[in-house]
Amino acid sequence: MTKSADRTPKIDVRVTQIVDVTSEIKRFRFEPTDGKPLPVFAGGAHVVVEMEDGDTLRRNPYSLMSSPGATDAYNISVRRDPGGRGGSMFMHDRVTVGSLLRLSHPVNLFPIDRRARKHLLFAGGIGITPTLAMMSELARYGDAFELNYAVRSENDGAYLDQLRNTYGKRVSIYRDDQGEQIPLTTLLAAQPLGTHLYVCGPGGMMNWVLSTAEGLGWPAQNLHSERFLAPPSGSPYEVRLAASDLSIKVGPHQSMLEAIEAAGVDAPYLCRGGACGQCETRVISFDGTLLHNDHYLTDDEHAGGQKVMPCVSRFEGRELVLDR
């Protein structure tokens, strides 16, 4: 069993409801096992769901789709993706009501820009999930918004009736199989100055919406899209700690710093985020590639291979020897 040495705070939850939304999409309800309120989140936020799948620790980010402010439970929707890394298949096939999972605290990489005079939302397919939470929030604060939502068909579209019933004319649904298309150019040209645009959906759709808007003179500052950053994981590797006379293994979801700590070697750190420079470690020798992920070292230092920030950086290759 892989044990995570990740020290960031986590939330233990129990799955209390699983709903088949469409033939491909399931909705999961998570409630905290300790009964305490969950952290508040905002529209656009996601959590990283940790799944212990045998010896593999999977970590997948999913947008929170419940109403922001509801702290008794979180809801996510997961689309079955047989070609993915395996997380969605695990959620669909192995997770049942009563299953225990672990979540990260909410993170928002797709926040609402509150300066906007109006919010123009675009969603495609499963990309509807962050949009649901955003609209719930915008409606609560009385902000102007509209949603344009593209789906394959009435049956494949998630939450169509709920959206029509709740938001009426503020929602326009476009069904591929009916030949319906978002009238993008007309729509974009009609927006009042100060409108902000948000898009979440398949890559092709996002590119189409964003490039059309740019072509009509929309500034980059008014364009927002959801881009999930992959968790800082990678292939496992070995590190030789010369000063401690130890060889350690770094797991795929473990940082070099965590592995050093797990081996009982005291290593300095402050931020654990690649910025403060406290954990800077001298590289004695290496045969392979240092994967620098920090913001601290300069480009020249990254190229030089003399230093590494073990809190976020990784290694691929035959041998890495550190002065630690």
Partner 1 sequence: MTIEFNTETFRGDFTYHNSAEAIARFPFPFPEDKYMYSVNIEPHVSFRPGSVYEHPFDVDEHYVSEVADRALVLNEDPLRSQSLPHMNLAGWDLLELLMTNLSESYPQWFELHQDGDRWHWINRPLGIDDTFTFLDNTTLPYGPMEYIMRQTQGDYALLDQRDDNLWMDAGVITTQADWSLDFDIGMNFMEWHGPVPLAHELGVFERALKFLLNLRQGQPVRRLNWTMTVHPRLDTSPENYAKWGVDRATVTPENAGEYMYLRVELQSLWRLPRSNAIVFPIRCYLISLQDLVTIPKWGRRLHRVLRDLPDELADYKGLTMTRPSVLQYLSQFDDGAQTSAGTFPD
Partner 2 sequence: MLVEGIKSRPIYSPLVARTGTLHLFMADGEGAQAILDLATTASPGFFERAHICYIPRAAAGRGFESALQALNPAAFYVGPTVAAALPRLAVELANAHMGTQIYLAGTEGMIGQAMVVALAAGVDQASIQREHRGSEARRVQCVHCKGITEDVTTQPAKCAHCGLMLLVRDHYSRRIGAFQGVCVDAEMPGTAPDPEEAFR
The binding site for partner 2 (CB under 8 A) comprises 115-117, 188-195, 213-222
Among partner 1, partner 2, none, what binds residue 216 when CB lies within 5 to 8 Å by partner kind?
partner 2
* Sign of the four-CA dihedral 23, 62, 2, 250: positive
Q: How far apart are CA 167 and CA 147, in angstroms?
A: 9
Binding-site partner at residue 279 among partner 1, partner 2, none, CB < 5 to 8 Å by type:
none
| Closer of 218 and 315 to partner 2 (Cβ) | 218
User: In angstroms, what is the minimal distance from the CB of 134 to partner 2?
Assistant: 18
Alpha carbon 91 to chain centroid, angstroms: 16
Burial 68-103 (b: 16+ CB within 10 A, else e): bebeebbbbbbbbeeeeeebbbbbbeebeeebebbb
* Residue 40 contact among partner 2, partner 1, none, beta carbon within 5 to 8 Å by kind: partner 1
Out of 149, 198, 296, 315, point to the residue binding partner 1 (CB under 8 A).
296
Q: Which does 295 bind (CB under 5 to 8 A by kind): partner 1, partner 2, none?
A: partner 1
Residues paired with 124 in a beta bridge = 150
Radius of gyration of the chain (CA): 23
A 10 A CB-CB count for 125 gives: 21
Q: Does 277 bind partner 1 (CB under 8 A)?
A: yes
Residue (192 or 305) nearer to partner 2, CB: 192
**Separation of alpha carbons 238 and 318, rounded Å:** 8
Cα(157)–Cα(230) distance, integer angstroms: 27
Q: How far is the CB of 50 from partner 1 (least distance, A)?
A: 16
Note whether 242 binds partner 1 by CB under 8 A. Answer: no
Q: Tell me the closest approach of the beta carbon of residue 251 to partner 2, in angstroms.
A: 42
Q: Give the integer Cα–Cα distance in Å for 275 and 58.
A: 26
By rule CB under 8 A, what string of x and - marks binding of each residue 79-108 to partner 1? --------------------------xxxx
Alpha carbon distance 312, 42 (integer Å)? 27
- Distance separating the N- and C-terminal Cα atoms of the chain: 27
Q: Which is nearer to partner 1, 25 or 309 (CB)?
A: 309
Q: Which is nearer to partner 1, 234 or 273 (CB)?
A: 273
Q: Is 115 in the site for partner 1 (CB under 8 A)?
A: yes
Which residues of this chain interact with partner 1, rule CB under 8 A? 8-9, 39-42, 44, 68-69, 105-108, 111-115, 140-141, 221, 270-277, 295-296, 298
